[in-house]
């Protein structure tokens, strides 16, 4: 796989050593068990896969290269480069300005742009409508395009479905940049509907089976379906694609449910005429990180710490998996660990940061699961590990522990 030139301060020498060792031992990714880092009084179980994925490193490399090569140009990002506050703040410090927030709200008016400006498309991609706006301004939206190739793969699959007169069911968050982009590309070639989760897929199933009316559909999925959508005609042939950062297992559950629905409606013998197999749209990195989380959770531990941006979809899903098993703390950096007795962490249900006391138990050794999302630099994970180690006396030397783990 291609190696990217990203700033060294996002890297961690000892995490890279562990990752390279695991990759060398298990190139086909058959082993999702974590790596144990035993420091004596505290032990970390490091997930088999975590941190920057291909699409993220590609986006960061293009962004930094663009800034370096055009010091006299005004450079804009459509929205956040990736869902990591530190990376976005680093780009802002270099003079990069953000045209929109992550919800698509305009921060800088289009009228302020001119043909000499550079606009970078983030890893999530963008809508056809925004591409048209930039083209009208004389700005080439494809010249500095960091759209993840796995996102583009979903778009291409949706286009193929459209050519076959198949309606595209998008598993995603309708407000997320990637889903907005995928929906925009999808509706160019086919009718489309966005479903958030299994519950919404079950509602769609009841519409297909005639248990809910067309009016029920239009009300329930308001602003989540393509223009001129006809319930009678446009739900006879369907296929499922996904926002690449969603839970792969949930995408599969949704696809299985809708497949069974089409069997009930049209019969097994006619399934191929009404349901398209789209398993090939799942992102390898999201899948690897989620499988690694399942492997991580097999270790007997006292708590889990997950590092990443609070608006990162893939990180949030990792947190959800961990919360089902043990006390879990979602933090954006080591700065959220105030002391051995106090941590500030993000609560997914409350959608805000909260404080927790005595999160580091007194038992020795303390066992901690440690991982991060696909948009989190390894350097942040290293900083979290070192911050926790600083609370303990007589811990083993990091180089010694890493050498032992990587041998």
Active site residues: 178
Q: Following DSSP, what letter does each residue of 237-305 receive, concatenated?
A: SEEEEE-TTS-HHHHHHHHHHHHHHHHHHH-GGGHHHHEE--GGGS-HHHHHHHHHHHHHTTS--SEEE
In this structure, the strands spanning 337-339 and 342-347 are antiparallel
**Cα-based torsion angle of the residue sequence 190, 194, 198, 201 in order, rounded to the nearest 10 degrees:** -50
Sign of CA dihedral 396, 402, 403, 407: positive
Three-state DSSP at 143 gives coil
Encoding tokens for residue 330?
């979602």
Contacts of 383 (CB under 8 A, 6+ apart): 333, 334
> Is the CB of residue 296 less than 8 Å from the CB of residue 44?
no
Whose CA is closest to 169, among 226, 247, 232? 226
CA dist 79 → 105, 126, 242 (Å): 9, 10, 21
């Amino acid at each position: 796989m291609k190696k990217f030139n990203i700033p060294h301060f996002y890297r961690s020498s000892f995490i890279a050593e562990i990752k390279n060792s695991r990759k060398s031992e298990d190139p086909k990714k058959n082993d999702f068990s974590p790596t144990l880092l035993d420091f004596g009084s505290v032990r970390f179980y490091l997930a088999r896969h975590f941190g920057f994925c291909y699409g993220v490193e590609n986006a960061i490399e293009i962004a930094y290269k663009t800034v370096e090569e055009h010091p006299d140009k005004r450079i804009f990002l459509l929205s956040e480069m990736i869902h990591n506050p530190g990376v976005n703040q680093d780009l802002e410090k270099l003079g990069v300005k953000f045209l929109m927030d992550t919800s698509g709200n305009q921060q800088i008016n289009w009228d302020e742009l001119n043909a000499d400006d550079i606009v970078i498309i983030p890893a999530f991609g963008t809508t056809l409508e925004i591409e048209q706006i930039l083209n009208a301004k004389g700005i080439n939206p494809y010249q500095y395009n960091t759209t993840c190739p796995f996102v583009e793969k979903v778009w291409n699959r949706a286009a193929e479905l459209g050519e076959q007169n198949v309606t595209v069911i998008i598993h995603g968050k309708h407000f997320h940049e990637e889903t907005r982009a995928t929906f925009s590309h999808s509706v160019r070639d086919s009718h489309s509907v966005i479903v958030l989760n299994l519950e919404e897929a079950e509602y769609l199933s009841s519409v297909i089976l005639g248990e809910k009316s067309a009016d029920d559909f239009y009300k329930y999925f308001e602003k989540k379906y393509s223009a001129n959508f006809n319930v009678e005609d446009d739900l006879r042939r369907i296929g499922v694609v996904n926002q690449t950062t969603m839970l792969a297992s949930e995408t599969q559950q949704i696809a299985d449910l809708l497949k069974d629905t089409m069997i009930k409606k049209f019969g097994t013998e006619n399934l191929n005429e009404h349901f398209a197999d789209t398993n090939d749209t799942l992102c390898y990195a999201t899948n690897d990180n989620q499988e690694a989380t399942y492997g991580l959770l097999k270790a007997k531990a006292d708590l889990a710490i997950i590092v990443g941006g609070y608006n990162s979809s893939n990180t949030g899903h990792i947190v959800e998996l961990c919360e089902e098993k043990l006390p879990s703390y979602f933090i954006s950096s080591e700065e959220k660990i105030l002391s051995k007795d106090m941590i500030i962490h993000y609560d997914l249900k409350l959608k805000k940061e909260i404080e927790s006391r005595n999160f580091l138990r007194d038992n020795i050794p303390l066992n901690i699961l440690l991982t991060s999302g696909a948009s989190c630099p390894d350097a942040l994970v290293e900083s979290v590990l070192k911050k926790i180690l600083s609370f303990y006396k007589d811990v083993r030397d990091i180089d010694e522990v890493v050498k032992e783990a990587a041998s």
